[in-house]
Chains A and B, each alone.
Chain A
């Protein structure tokens, strides 16, 4: 639970000079680096101010903060769904140059399941491959594997409205994992679900991460969820959206129900809660 320096910093030197040498072997480079990202919306709101972040392969990073802290904005900028006002996003592993997001680099899970209601579960999961020009037969094996890994292989021919909220979210996760992305972005994916379903899906995420070696950036406003899942938690404050502190979760890689009830887990939750409270009061001072 030590606050890390280096990865997040306001030092100007770091913004100008990306500190990852191109001579560094490809496999050791971070998956994505944010350098001094700021975002000003057209109405003048500063959604995000000078954020820097490196994410390494296999890391599970949570962005935790009150609403309005720009955590979803960061995700959208990384996904290329909106350009930053200043700063830049680096892809040190990209074959087409570090300024270019590699093809199929990203899987995105939205807060809503965001499924096409007119398409079957199979066709929804097939979508990323279909858009990349793969036929249904070429994709069948991978789509079914993805559905099997979220426990929905039997529902391939069902329509989204025949599924429960948790099952829809699983389909959404299967769709994100089917192109085998380097980086999985999850924007409060379980916020709308009940707690029991949420716990189950948290366990699924941990299991899938172990199986596929995912690198994940996970946006949440739940302290408990972020501690349970993450290797590192980036605590953010609002108005303007900014990083307050990073907390490393040096807990066993093996996460499960035992971890959820451990004293260690409780201690981490307390630390992160306190940091979050600082972040919230910092946000309030800004308005007052």
Chain B
């Protein structure tokens, strides 16, 4: 049975193009570091104002025993907050999507939590929370929660009406409609929420720690940043900053990878077409 032709499958890039795709950003990074080193050396900038890359690298190695536990603390807060925000955001979105009355009752509070600057409620949370760690967790959770909730709610509401009709026609139960239609259909929205929420969770974990002014053992990278600043230990400050940036990039990469794996077979955002 002949038919009009299906869309052509995506052409594979040649190998050299793939290699360039990796090489270009790496070369750019190396170039930037070299320029940094050259400027610091040429202008003889003292290390307590602007350390060169080799000093920062040395600090990263030498101060690792101090920085590593701090990194673990920040990572733990970020990922716990993100996990809680995912569970809470998706669950609340499902409840909201069941009835517009529930939405009317609950959604305003979610908006209020979102629009109030987290730094402004942090002191209050610090008073009420049983420990500083718990307070930081709550702050990071509150920030990551809303983008996941609002995207997921939008996704659950944006299901194709004809498909909803089709499910109704075949006598699908509410649970079947949720599991087989609404949840799969909102995957792209969920993943957008995840990417935004993941980035925000890290930012909130750092900002909240600044606000909490936590100190000593069991502190995260934000405390080590402040501490280095007080002691004018700029190489260590830069090292801590690099760790934070690295964490952020890793979260972005991880969420993008999850998104790619979930959408690559079917969603328009994952399709590359040649015209």
Contacts and interface: CB of A to CB of B under 8 A. Distances in A.
A163 B266 contact: no
Interface in A34-65: none
Contacts of A131: 167, 170-172, 176, 180
B6 A114 contact: no
Given A116-B163, A159-B266, A197 B169 contact: no
A79 B169 CA distance: 7
A197 B3 contact: yes
Contact of B187 (A104, A118, A127, A200): A118
A164 interface: yes
Contacts of B160: 114
Interface of A: 76, 79-81, 103-104, 106, 108, 110, 112, 114, 116-119, 127-128, 130-132, 150-151, 159-167, 170, 179, 193-194, 196-197, 200, 204
A80 B170 contact: no
Nearest to A115: B163
A117 B267 contact: yes
A162 B5 contact: no
A6 B168 CA distance: 33
B271 interface: yes
Contacts of B181: 116
Interface of B: 1-7, 9, 160, 162-163, 165-172, 176, 180-181, 184-185, 187, 265-268, 271
Contact of A196 (B4, B7, B266, B268): B4
A114 B161 CA distance: 9
Given A116-B184, A130-B180, A151-B1, A161 B166 contact: no
Given A104-B170, A118-B267, A162-B9, 14 more contacts: A76-B165, A108-B165, A110-B165, A112-B162, A116-B181, A117-B267, A131-B170, A131-B172, A132-B171, A151-B3, A163-B7, A164-B3, A167-B6, A197-B3
A118 B185 CA distance: 8
Contacts of A118: 184-185, 187, 265-267
Contact of B6 (A80, A81, A132, A164): A164
B7 A164 contact: yes
Contact of A194 (B4, B162, B166, B265): B4
A163 B185 contact: no
Contacts of A130: 180
B168 A81 contact: yes
Contact of A161 (B7, B172, B187): B7
Nearest to B268: A161
A22 B52 CA distance: 95
A235 to B, nearest CB: 26
B93 to A, nearest CB: 18
A108 B169 contact: yes
Contact of A167 (B3, B169, B187, B266): B3
A95 B172 CA distance: 21
Contacts of A193: 4
A118 B159 CA distance: 13
Contacts of A116: 163, 181, 184-185
B271 A161 contact: yes
A193 B3 CA distance: 11
Contact of A103 (B166, B171, B268): B171
A110 B1 contact: no
Contact of B5 (A80, A164, A170): A164
A161 B168 contact: no
Nearest to A129: B170
B7 A114 contact: no
Given A81-B165, A108-B169, A166 B267 contact: no
Nearest to A150: B1
B7 A81 contact: no
A130 B171 CA distance: 11
Nearest to A112: B162
16 contacts: A76-B165, A80-B168, A81-B169, A108-B165, A108-B169, A116-B185, A151-B3, A161-B268, A162-B7, A164-B6, A167-B3, A167-B6, A179-B170, A197-B3, A197-B4, A200-B2
A118 B165 CA distance: 18
A200 to B, nearest CB: 7
Nearest to B172: A131
B160 to A, nearest CB: 7
A164 B2 CA distance: 12
Nearest to A82: B165
B180, B184, B266: residue with the most chain A Cβ atoms closer than 10 Å: B266
A118 B263 CA distance: 8
B169 A114 contact: no
Nearest to A201: B3
B203 to A, nearest CB: 31
Contacts of B271: 161
A166 B7 contact: no
B266 to A, nearest CB: 5
